[in-house]
A and B are shown apart, each in its own frame.
Chain A
Amino acid sequence: MEFNTSPYLLKEASVQRVMLKVLLALLPGIAAYVWLFGPAILIHLALTTITALVGEALMLKVRRRPLGLFLPDLSAVVTAWLITLTFPPLVPWWLTVTATLFAIVIAKQLYGGLGQNPFNPAMIAFAVSIVSFPALMSQWPGTDGHFSSQLQVIFGLAPRLDGLTSATPLDAMKTALMLAGDSHSTSVSSILANPEVFGLVAGRGWEWVALAYLLGGVWLIQQRVITWHMPTAFIAGMVVISGALWLWQPATYASPLFHLLSGGSMLGAFFIVTDPVTGATTPRGKLLFAAGIGLLAYLIRVFGGYPDGVAFAVLLFNICVPLIDMYTQPPVFGMKDQ
């Protein structure tokens, strides 16, 4: 707008600052990740960050948008980091790079860039990759990763040995239960008794990474970057369904705590469902949206064919956002009794 109109005072705020805080909030999780699973993730972080910025810059140029205004907003970097953190750290380099390009070019820029994309770009990248490369997307490292061997695997210089990678605890649990079938030869508690895979409650290493994400997420709430609604509702949705099944058949269904601390639950609750662009916006809508994702993610990861369900649940609820927003409009000032 050309006119210089009121307000003449503005709060210190920018998209860049919002995105920077999200990146900072991810650091504890990344630190825990590196400590427990080795530094492979850092290689991917570097690769995806560069890819995202290059892809964003090229698309901005093609779309004739000011590079200086949009490139430093860091939104592409957030997407890159989220992609990296949801992917297995030992996938080949070209997979994360392609996925990142797909997210930035197709899921974000072709829809109109910042603020215009209906689907969470990182989750699109995850969904596309797991559908296209299910095997690669299911190999997770053990906790004894050495940098050099991880590096070789990522760049295809070493064979992808079975010993180097394994299923996630979530996947391991599902497989073990499936193998046992109806024979009741095993139970959740006996599976969990293997600390090599399952650590204290939810997977060796995984639980600590999840707690580190929780820490960063709480800081984001404290910083008013996100509100409490979505993480709380996501956790509530997951706890309600997993708790109900667990109470009903504790031998077959793992506890809510196991589910909250494994897979993409904590990353999803604080960093993925809270994406403002693709999420619901009203307070009640946020609760509905995130609770629905928590519930659906559980159903997909326990009863579906994929190792985790957060990505598909998020994408399915992205579709519902306009509807949710429309039906959850809060009453305006003075109209609460009407």
Chain B
Amino acid sequence: MLQLFKFKGGVKPATNKVQSVTLPIATAPLPSRLAVPLHQSIGGTPRPIVEVGDKVLKGQKIGEADGWISAAVHAPTSGTVIEVGLYPAAHPSGLTAATVVIEPDGEDRWIDRQPVDYASLEPEAVRELLREAGVVGLGGAVFPTHGKLTASKTVPMEEMVINGAECEPYITCDDLLMRERAEEVVRGAGVFRDLLRPKKVLIGIEDNKPEAAAAMTAAIKALGEAFKEFEVVVVPTRYPAGGAKQLIRVLTGKEVPASKRSTDLGVQCFNVATAYTAWRALAHGEPVISRLVTITGNVGEPRNWEVLIGTPMDELLRIGQPKPDTDGIIMGGPMMGFLVPDTKAPVVKATNCLIAHSPTLFPPKPPEMPCIRCGECARACPHELQPFEMYWFSRAKNFGKTQEYAIFDCIECGCCSFVCPSRIPLVQYFRFAKSEIWARERESQAAEGAKNRFEFKQLREEREKAEKAEKLAKAAAAQAAKKAAEALAAANAPETTVAEPAPDAPSAADAAKRATIEAAMERAKAQRAAAQPKNVDHLPPAVEQEIAEIDARQNQAVMANAAPDGEKNS
């Protein structure tokens, strides 16, 4: 018997699962139209490859995966594309999302399905097939599964955890899947096992699902020797035992910190429904076009249905016969789900459960009181955070502090809100703080860009200013040199002492200028000596005057040539 570990915190809400497990899985009727959002997984948004008016077949790819972390999307039935555009999304924001709307033709005609023998393929080819089949984590996070099927290069793969815990109240789709389709779940887990090669495969199921555990155990036994490292482990029922990190902790004792991937600790975790769809994709060539959805809550007939992706929620809920006081639909469980803002929104790969909401089933929340720091939230937190401190700083909009208290380790499981005696919607505060931090992050990135642009502009202006000043200095130097030369020429004509440079010469280019002037004067003197003919001692004054003028002009020319040289060397 495997030794189990405990995770701290957690709560025990009423499970409310018995209502929806009495009836077997049934196939939901074909809806009037199917709205398939392109972005149904973490990562890149698939690009639409169909246009309005195109005829599509069931399972035909309509969205091409964009990037490695992305997964293709497919037509859930045969029909005609009637719209490619924005459509209400299954998201708490109530925003619209790029969606392909298909009008079914009622024939439900499949594409040519190509089963493969994955064992004969390279691991890379298997991962590519899963990506093309749109296989993503169906436990709720919808991370593309092929992206999780590469083991760490440095850490050996110890355990693979198959998550059948299904800890959220009301939801029973994984339970029913394991009860009715255990063999395919196990075979799908076998595919993952063959890609990751862990030493052990642990299938964790909460102890409130004995039928599922028995079915899985029987399936493993029936499949024989090839699945000998598989083990079904019944874990105590305690929300959120089905959180990937919590289940890993319970089964292996390992705690995966928020900063690490589980493969860094030699463990990887998949949901049972993900394993099932992976098997269908490889062994039957069926991409992910449907999933099991629990329809429960304020309905006459709670039950699990095989539902085509893209089925409008309001239409789907009708087959559960909602009671008259139903006033909304919760997608997901009551702990982490959300009230769908627009019930026209379609079922997506992340939709595991629809709960008909009514004020009697979920009474309006009592008014919020001040925090009394009782610490119940900290005791309930499965990630061992201090929610009341994070709440305090979220409220004060001191988001830096919330990060010091590790707000991004929060998985928004809702345990803190569940236990709070002051009825503070703690998780709501944390969602708010996180979104504010993200918004500020984006803003600061934008600001960083603006700052860079501004600094570059400043740099450029300064450079231009410097260049201008340099030019001015040059001009001033030339001017000064010219003046000096003039003075020199004037002084040279009669036999007087060496002329001082003009006293009003601008001081800017002083030293360089003076050096230039002196050099020029030296050269002028030498030239003058060289140019002086020997027989000019007794020339008439008119001729002497003429010679002096020529000398002056020569001098000037020399100065003009010398000045730039002098500048260049200084």
Contacts and interface: CB of A to CB of B under 8 A. Distances in A.
Contact of A7 (B335, B367, B369, B405): B335
Categorize the interface residue count of chain A.
35 or more
B375 interface: yes
Most chain B CB neighbours (cut-off 10 Å) among A66, A115, A279: A115
A62 interface: no
Contacts of B92: 5
Contact of B334 (A9, A18, A69, A113): A9
Nearest to B341: A3
Interface in A196-234: 227
Interface stretch (B21-29, B98-106, B424-432): B424-432
B372 A282 contact: no
Contacts of B482: none
A8 interface: yes
B383 interface: yes
B386 A282 contact: yes
Most chain B CB neighbours (cut-off 10 Å) among A3, A227, A332: A332
A70 to B, nearest CB: 8
A189 interface: no
Contacts of A70: 369
Nearest to B260: A334
A120 B401 CA distance: 26
B357 interface: yes
A114 B417 contact: no
Interface in B405-457: 405-406, 409, 414, 417-423, 425, 427-429, 431
Contact of A277 (B256, B337, B373, B431): B373
B431 A5 contact: yes
A5 B338 contact: yes
B13 interface: yes
A195 interface: no
A10 B365 contact: yes
Contacts of A171: none
Contact of A10 (B257, B337, B371, B418): B418
The secondary structure that dominates the B interface is: loop
A63 interface: no
Contact of A334 (B14, B256, B373): B256
A333 B257 contact: yes
A14 B366 contact: yes
Given A6-B334, A13-B420, A334-B245, A73 B369 contact: yes
A1 B357 CA distance: 19
Interface in B1-57: 7-8, 11, 13-14
B414 A11 contact: no
B310 interface: no
Contacts of A338: 257
B325 to A, nearest CB: 15
B378 interface: yes
Contacts, number: 141
A248 to B, nearest CB: 38
A336 interface: yes
A15 B369 contact: yes
A185 interface: no
Most chain B CB neighbours (cut-off 10 Å) among A5, A227, A336: A5
A331 interface: yes
A325 B405 CA distance: 12
A17 interface: yes
Given A332-B385, A334-B245, A8 B425 contact: no
A69 B367 CA distance: 8
A68 B394 CA distance: 27
B374 interface: yes
B329 to A, nearest CB: 12
Nearest to B412: A6
B373 A18 contact: no
A335 B334 contact: no
Nearest to A17: B421
B257 A9 contact: no
Contact of B330 (A8, A73, A227, A332): A8
Contacts of A116: 370
B169 interface: yes
Given A4-B339, A115-B370, A13 B376 contact: yes
Contacts of A11: 11, 13, 418-419
Given A5-B431, A8-B357, A9-B418, 15 more contacts: A6-B330, A6-B417, A11-B11, A13-B421, A14-B369, A15-B369, A15-B372, A70-B369, A227-B375, A276-B372, A277-B373, A331-B384, A332-B257, A332-B409, A333-B257
21 contacts: A6-B335, A6-B414, A7-B334, A8-B334, A8-B357, A9-B169, A10-B418, A13-B420, A13-B423, A14-B422, A18-B372, A18-B374, A113-B370, A281-B388, A331-B384, A332-B384, A333-B245, A333-B385, A334-B245, A334-B260, A334-B409
Closest 4 CB pairs of A and B: A334-B257, A7-B414, A115-B370, A334-B255
Interface of B: 7-8, 11, 13-14, 92, 169, 245, 249, 255-258, 260, 330, 332, 334-339, 357, 362, 364-376, 378-379, 382-386, 388-389, 405-406, 409, 414, 417-423, 425, 427-429, 431
